[in-house]
């Protein structure tokens, strides 16, 4: 019986267990995809790619639940098997996009196994006839009026995490939609001569921006002896604590959206969409928005903005009313 956490204890059960050379293809009947998946996660952990490892771990747990202790050999790993697994995920209430997420992770591990000749190249690709289509999700951006409501909301009588979640949201907005992970690990050394410079965790791209007064006030609010600009990881900068803080602060920012009766769930990612949308509406060139967000192509930014819109109950959308992407 496999344990969902067997790959994450620092001692991996299959390290060194892969057959080598010509014996790899011959031993494919002894090959177990579950162990291969476990090794895949272990390698990501070892490389320090903990976010990716966590994503694969989520898919791994579902796979273990489906297999219920059984092995998965190349002979069993067929197009029909993938179809049945997809149906099982849907029957559990997993959304279409999340089904695709888990199947893509499964496919990535499969492709890696083929490249390593753990599965023979002649094996029929079980994902070759996959027809699951991702649903394009509409990205909700906040209007300038609703952003101001977030700024003005009196949170003095609430738990301190409410105010911290609100400040992190605004910090993201004032930094052109900086991601949560990048905000968490920002250090005081990232600021020099009024310029904030950081490397995007997602792409490795270096971005820099001038620190405007509204952003400076947030930085000053949390200035202390900690090496981090924001107090999210001030006491413990482990990955485990990062994920815990992420989950907790996500709950608080959603609660702020409920307090304000916003039409859509409030998340930190909404800050990114809001900045991009308001920047566009005040006439900022697409090239500038694309560079500011760290997109590798303007096409990505164009798709991003097409899906972004803000909601005004009872009114048609009027983007031209926003003059400045600031509050």
Q: What is the pLDDT of residues 13-63, one digit of tens each?
A: 433 333 343 344 445 556 889 999 999 999 999 988 888 898 999 999 999
Q: How many domains does the chain have?
A: 2
Q: What is the pLDDT of residues 274-310, one digit of tens each?
A: 999 999 988 989 889 988 888 888 887 887 787 665 5
Domain-located, residue 131: no
The answer to whether residues 266 and 315 belong to one domain is yes
Domain-located, residue 72: yes
Q: Which of 62, 81, 115 is the last residue of a domain?
A: 115
The answer to whether residues 156 and 287 belong to one domain is yes
Tell me which of 167 and 4 has the higher pLDDT.
167
Tell whether pTM > 0.85.
no
Cα 108 to Cα 255: distance, rounded to the nearest angstrom: 36
Please check the confidence at residue 5 and state whether its pLDDT lies above 80. Answer: no
The answer to whether residues 167 and 94 belong to one domain is no
Domain-located, residue 180: yes
Q: CATH number of the domain that 286 lies in?
A: 1.10.443.10
Q: What is the pLDDT of residues 96-134, one digit of tens each?
A: 889 999 999 999 999 999 999 888 888 999 998 776 666
The answer to whether residues 288 and 162 belong to one domain is yes
Tokens of 151: 């700024």
pLDDT of residue 240: 87
pLDDT of residue 50: 84
The answer to whether residues 177 and 239 belong to one domain is yes
* Residue (of 54, 105, 63, 61) closest to 246 by Cα position: 54
Domain-located, residue 316: yes
Domain interval for residue 173: 139-321
Domain-located, residue 129: no
Other CB atoms closer than 10 Å to residue 256's CB: what's the count? 20
Cα 72 to Cα 81: distance, rounded to the nearest angstrom: 10
The answer to whether residues 144 and 100 belong to one domain is no
The answer to whether residues 214 and 92 belong to one domain is no
Domain-located, residue 264: yes
The answer to whether residues 21 and 63 belong to one domain is yes
The answer to whether residues 29 and 144 belong to one domain is no
Domain-located, residue 120: no
Cα 246 to Cα 240: distance, rounded to the nearest angstrom: 10
Confidence label for 136 from pLDDT (cuts 50, 70 and 90): low
Tell me which of 1 and 264 has the higher pLDDT.
264
Q: What is the pLDDT of residues 139-165, one digit of tens each?
A: 678 999 999 999 999 999 999 999 999
The answer to whether residues 272 and 310 belong to one domain is yes
For the chain, the C-alpha Rg in angstroms (whole number) is 23
Tokens of 123: 């094996």
């Amino acid at each position: 019986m496999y344990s969902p956490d067997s790959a994450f204890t620092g001692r991996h059960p299959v390290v060194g267990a892969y057959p080598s050379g010509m014996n790899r293809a011959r031993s494919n009947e002894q090959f177990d995809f579950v162990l291969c998946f476990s090794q895949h996660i272990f390698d990501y952990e070892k490389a320090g790619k903990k976010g990716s490892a966590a994503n694969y771990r989520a898919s791994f747990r579902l796979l273990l639940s489906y297999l219920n202790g059984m092995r998965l050999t190349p002979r069993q790993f067929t197009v029909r098997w993938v179809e049945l697994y997809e149906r099982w995920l849907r029957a559990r209430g997993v959304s279409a996009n999340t089904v695709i997420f888990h199947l893509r992770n499964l496919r990535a591990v499969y492709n890696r196994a083929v490249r390593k000749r753990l599965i023979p190249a002649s094996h029929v690709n079980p994902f070759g006839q996959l027809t699951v289509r991702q649903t394009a999700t509409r990205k909700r951006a906040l209007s300038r009026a609703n952003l101001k409501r977030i700024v003005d909301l009196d949170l003095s009588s609430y738990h301190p995490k409410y105010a911290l979640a609100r400040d992190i949201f605004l910090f993201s907005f004032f930094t052109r939609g900086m991601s949560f992970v990048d905000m968490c690990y920002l250090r005081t050394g990232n600021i020099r001569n009024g310029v904030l410079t950081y490397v995007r965790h997602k792409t490795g791209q270096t971005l820099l921006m001038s620190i405007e007064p509204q952003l400076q006030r947030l930085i000053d609010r949390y200035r202390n002896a900690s090496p981090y600009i924001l107090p999210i990881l001030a006491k413990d900068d482990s990955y485990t604590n990062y994920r815990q803080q992420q989950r907790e602060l996500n709950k608080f920012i959603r609660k702020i959206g409920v307090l304000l009766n916003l039409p859509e769930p409030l998340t930190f990612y909404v800050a990114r969409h809001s900045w991009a949308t308001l920047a566009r509406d005040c006439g900022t060139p697409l090239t500038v928005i694309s560079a500011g967000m760290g997109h590798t192509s303007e096409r990505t930014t164009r798709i991003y903005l097409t899906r972004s819109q803000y909601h005004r109950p009872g009114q048609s959308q009027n983007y031209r009313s926003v003059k400045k992407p600031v509050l």
